[in-house]
Homo-oligomer: A and B are copies of this chain.
Amino acid sequence: MGLETLSTNRSFGGVQGVYKHASAATGTDMTFSVYVPDHAPGAKLPVVWYLSGLTCTHANVTEKGEFRRLCAELGLIFIAPDTSPRGEGVADDPDGAYDFGLGAGFYVDATQAPFAPNYQMWTYVTQELPALIAQAFPTDMDRQSIMGHSMGGHGALTIGLTFPDRYKAVSAFSPIVAPTRVPWGQKALPGYLGDDQTAWRKHDAVALIEDGARIPDLLVDQGDADNFLTNQLKPELLEEACKAAGIALTLRLQPGYDHSYYFISTFMADHLRWHADRLGSS
């Protein structure tokens, strides 16, 4: 299956690995990390997907996320993909901005030049990488869940809402909940998807809920000292949509916390327990 192991390190009794493969979806090499806890021979473990935010690679959460202790305790495989295609010939923001292009794939399949050939992150994260993971690791793919941070929270929410049967739990740290209504999304969505606002709504969690998508419940942590809270994140829009739709949202505004991994790592254990409960792995 063409999976190259870049590194493995024993940690909390399991193995933290980093791997590379040639992606058909993106037309590039893609790097991702997988933590596999210690497990009985032949056991198949549930899978937690973690989607990262703007500028990140697999490495940020892998190094700073503090997820391994709980994944070991709860028997969860933890997967961290990259946030965009990378490499020679991959288009970037014309000004090199951090919020579009490299490191900023927004988990969509781009239709617009020059991004369409490589920026196929929706297909990559929901189809190609799961198929690879299912073959290469001791996974129970009937028990998957998804979480993410910021742009990756947007990805987790939109993917979780689109495939409610596949992902048994959905949660997010400081997610972009309504990209069609904030500057980051108002740049990225037309940039990747063009002017068709119907296409945008499929990549906006609040719009998806307004248009009928349903999941039973949802955990969101948001720092109240987050610089992006009022102009880019707007959790109140998710709160309104969930209330109207009857989705049981647990939205926790965490006092004094910012947008960083110091915040994420603090509440990672709570999220993993939430996922394990819904994956039947607690």
Q: Indicate if A262 sits at the interface (CB-CB under 8 A).
A: yes
When the two chains form their complex, are residues B10 and A263 in contact, meaning their CB atoms are under 8 A apart?
Answer: yes
How far in angstroms is the closest Cβ of chain B from A226?
Answer: 11
Residues in B neighbouring A66, C-beta threshold 8 A: 66, 69, 265
* A269–B269 CA distance with the chains assembled, in angstroms: 15
When the two chains form their complex, are residues B69 and A10 in contact, meaning their CB atoms are under 8 A apart?
Answer: no
Question: Hey, what's the 0/1 contact readout for A38-78 against B, CB within 8 Å counting as 1?
Answer: 00000000000000000000000001101011000000000
Q: Indicate if A12 sits at the interface (CB-CB under 8 A).
A: yes
A258's nearest neighbour on chain B, judged by CB, is B9
When the two chains form their complex, are residues B68 and A10 in contact, meaning their CB atoms are under 8 A apart?
Answer: no
8 A-B residue contacts at CB 8 Å? A9-B258, A9-B262, A10-B257, A12-B266, A13-B266, A16-B262, A63-B63, A63-B261
This protein's copies in its complex: 2
How far in angstroms is the closest Cβ of chain B from A165?
Answer: 34
Q: Indicate if A225 sits at the interface (CB-CB under 8 A).
A: yes
Residues in B neighbouring A64, C-beta threshold 8 A: 63-64
Q: Indicate if A260 sits at the interface (CB-CB under 8 A).
A: yes
| From B11, B261, B262, B266, contact of A262 by CB (8 A) | B11
Q: Which 4 A-B pairs have the closest CB atoms?
A: A11-B262, A9-B262, A10-B256, A10-B257
How far in angstroms is the closest Cβ of chain B from A15?
Answer: 9
- Max chain B CB contacts within 10 Å: which of A10, A16, A63? A10
How far in angstroms is the closest Cβ of chain B from A16?
Answer: 6
When the two chains form their complex, are residues A263 and B11 in contact, meaning their CB atoms are under 8 A apart?
Answer: yes
* A12–B270 CA distance with the chains assembled, in angstroms: 12
A225's nearest neighbour on chain B, judged by CB, is B10
How far in angstroms is the closest Cβ of chain B from A52?
Answer: 15
| From B9, B11, B16, B265, contact of A11 by CB (8 A) | B265
When the two chains form their complex, are residues A260 and B9 in contact, meaning their CB atoms are under 8 A apart?
Answer: yes
A11's nearest neighbour on chain B, judged by CB, is B262
